[in-house]
Every structure is written in C-alpha cells, then in structure tokens.
Structure 1
Amino acid sequence: MLNATADRRRFFRVDDTISLSYQLIDENTAAQGLKSSGYMNSEYSLAATLDVLSQEAMRIMQHLEKQNSEFLELYKVLDAKINVMAQAVMFVGSNVNAQDCQDVNLSAAGLAFQQHTALELGQNLAIEMYLPSTLALILVYGKVINCQAIDAGQYVISVMYTQIREEDQELLIKHVVRKQWQQLRESKSNVQAEA
C-alpha cells in the first residue's frame, strides 16, 4: 500500500469539472485489463493519436508561418474541424455525456468525485472520462480506495487507477498541468485586481 500511496503523490492533483461515467466490474474483468475490453482499437485511443499528430503539425506550421502567417490560421481552422469530427466519433457507444459535468479532484494516478451512492472499498470500476481541455475520451480501470460520507446521502469516492494506457496518462498529465496553469493565472489576476 505504501508504494501505491507514493505513486499517487508523485502526480499533481487539481480540482476540475469533467464528464465522468463509471461501471462496476468484477475482479476477473479487472484482471484481464483494458486490452480485453477492446479498448486498444477503439474510439478511446483516438484522442491520444490526435494529440500526437497535432503537436507534430503545429511544429511544422510554426516553420511555415514565417513564410506566410495565413498558413497557421488555415491550420487552426482545419484542426478545429478535425477535432469536432473526432468528438462525434469518440462519443458513439460511450456512456459519457460531454454536457453532463461534475466536480472532481483529478490526477494522472487517480480521482475523487461525489455521488449519492456509497461504494465498497476495493470495488473495481471501469471509468470513462471526457477532458475538455485535451478533447480526450479516456477509459481507465480503477479500484475504490476510500468512500467517505460527507452529508446525508452524499459520499466522496476516491479511486486509484489500476489500468491506464501510457498515452492516456500523458493526456491526463497535460490536462492537469493546463488546469494548474489556468488556476495560477486566475489567482494572479485576482491578487492584482485586489491590489
């Protein structure tokens, strides 16, 4: 347990609002891993692939921008079109509703969220998350490590990921860093406004 705790603390955590859906899974399904779910060849890996391609395209476009600034504008329009189409494809067959968001505490190693139902410690979950900042739909397997009652009929569920693709963990890290940067800028703006 000490190693799991150390691993969780290795990653930054942020409070965020994302779309989230989960299903209870049995120990056998959890042990078979994401490959057995058909995850590796599905719409879930699309976001990671698009992210890598977008980074490569942006690097090339920055060189072309020196020749003609309209190239970068064209790239941004085409990239936006691709992202809209990718979102439509990603959500086919998904249990996540991009408009149905909830507050979470998120990291690349786990998350915590509130709900009206308690979950048993050690319960295995298949969790789908939509991260707006990276336009990513991610599937992870996780295990409930804490379930704390906070109000009558309200619980905070803490989950540690047990199965996550490396590419998706990188997307989560990018998402968390972007969110932290945004929160720091907002905090700095608020301090300057008060001064």
Structure 2
Amino acid sequence: MFTANTERRRFFRIDDTLCISYRLIDPETASAGLKAMEPLSRQFSVAATLDVLSQEAQRIMLRIEKQNPEWLELYQVLDAKINTLAQAMMFACSDVDAQNCRDVNLSASGVAFAQSSLLDIGQNLAIEMYLPSTLALILVYGKVVNCQELGEGQYSISVDYTHIRAEDQELLIKHVVRRQWQQLQQNKMRAESLS
C-alpha cells in the first residue's frame, strides 16, 4: 500500500509557470470526490480527448506526409483551428484567467504555489489548471498539506491531490515530462553557448 510520501515520490516534480485558480470547498463536496466533480469535469474532458486524437492523427500524418506534404500543412492548420476553439470553450467555462499565471512546483500528485493569503492546513480546494503543453484545462480536488510564510506577505501553499481523473493525471504526467525535456534542452543550449 502506498502512503502519501511514496505516492509523491512516484512522480517527477518541476518548477513551471501555469495559469491556475482555486476555490475553497466544504468537506462534504471534497469527500464526494469524483462524483461531485462529474458535472464539472465533463467540460474539462475535451482536452484529454483532443490530446489522444492529436497523437493518433500525428502518426497517420507522418505516413501521409511522404506522399503529399501539402496534406500535412492542411492538417496542421485545421488542428490549430480546433485547438483554438477548444481552448476558448474551456476558458469560457472556467475561473482560470489565461493572462494571470503564476510560478508553481508541479507533479501528477500535487502542486505548490506562492500567494499573499494564508490557507489552513487540511483546507479542501477545487483547483483548475491550464497546461499549455497539452492545451488542457484540468480540475482536481486537493487538500492543503503545508503553508509556510515566505516573508514580505507571501505564503508557500502545498496541496496534495485527493481526487483526480485518470485522464487528467495522464495529461499532468505528459505536461511535466514535456516541460522537463524543454528545460533540459534550454539548459543544454545555455551550457553550449558558454563553452
């Protein structure tokens, strides 16, 4: 059986910048978990479906590209249009502001972020996050596990997810891996430029 600590160690953690919002939820809503999330999570499930379909389409388009490169260009334009519409639809149903992002420490099992207000340990939250690498807006329930004063009126809030859909956890894992790869590439380029 996994404890909270071993569960956290199963996933990579990265520092990233995300658009994120949260709201306090009562213990009854939190304990209802995925059942309580169901009416809300339908609007968020579009991203997971689009991500899977895009992966399938990419495999097909790589084969077609050899026969007719213009088809790949057409696919990329249509894919961009669909992603733009999906993103607009997701943000219309969300409290996340695409212009208001913050630094976070992120994994598939929890998130930490700084803010100006204190939260009580044990407080239940509904958290919405926009993951730009997968164009996904996800909803999770979590519990505040740590709140430390950083100084200058700022607090570091650590949240463990208590309820997350499997599809959303998969999107989080993909996002973390992609961002980690991007960060490694940037560090490599920086090191090469200094040599």
Q: What's the TM-score, normalizing by structure 1?
A: 0.96
Q: Distance in 1 between matches of 2:79 and 2:149?
A: 44
Tell me the equivalent position of 2:70: 70
Q: Distance in 1 between matches of 2:63 and 2:159?
A: 43
> Does the 8 Å CA contact 1:90/1:137 hold for their aligned counterparts?
yes
> Does the 8 Å CA contact 2:41/2:139 hold for their aligned counterparts?
no
Tell me the equivalent position of 2:40: 39
Secondary structure, in 3 states, of the residue corresponding to 1:89?
A: helix
Match of 1:39, as an amino acid?
L
Q: Deviations over 1:52-84 (max 9, x none)?
A: 111111111111112111111111110000000
Secondary structure, in 3 states, of the residue corresponding to 1:91?
A: helix
Match of 2:121, as an amino acid?
L
> Does the 8 Å CA contact 1:34/1:140 hold for their aligned counterparts?
no
Secondary structure, in 3 states, of the residue corresponding to 2:3?
A: helix
Q: What's the TM-score, normalizing by structure 2?
A: 0.96
Is residue 135 of structure 1 aligned with residue 135 of structure 2? yes
> Does the 8 Å CA contact 1:128/1:138 hold for their aligned counterparts?
yes
List gaps (5 residues or longer) in structure 2.
none
Match of 2:16, as an amino acid?
D
Q: Distance in 2 between matches of 1:60 and 1:83?
A: 18
> Does the 8 Å CA contact 2:140/2:164 hold for their aligned counterparts?
yes
Q: Distance in 1 between matches of 2:41 and 2:114?
A: 29
Q: Distance in 2 between matches of 1:123 and 1:183?
A: 32
- The equivalences for 1:114-129 within 5 A come to 114-129=114-129
What number of residue pairs does the alignment pair up? Answer: 194
Match of 2:170, as an amino acid?
E
CA RMSD between the two structures: 1.3
Is residue 86 of structure 1 aligned with residue 86 of structure 2? yes
Tell me the equivalent position of 2:103: 103
List gaps (5 residues or longer) in structure 1.
none
Q: Deviation of residue 35 (structure 1)? A: 2.8
- The equivalences for 1:182-193 within 5 A come to 182-193=182-193
Match of 1:93, as an amino acid?
C
> Does the 8 Å CA contact 1:39/1:45 hold for their aligned counterparts?
no
Match of 2:112, as an amino acid?
A
Q: Deviations over 1:160-184 (max 9, x none)?
A: 0000011111111111111111110
Tell me the equivalent position of 1:154: 154
Match of 1:172, as an amino acid?
L
> Does the 8 Å CA contact 2:90/2:137 hold for their aligned counterparts?
yes
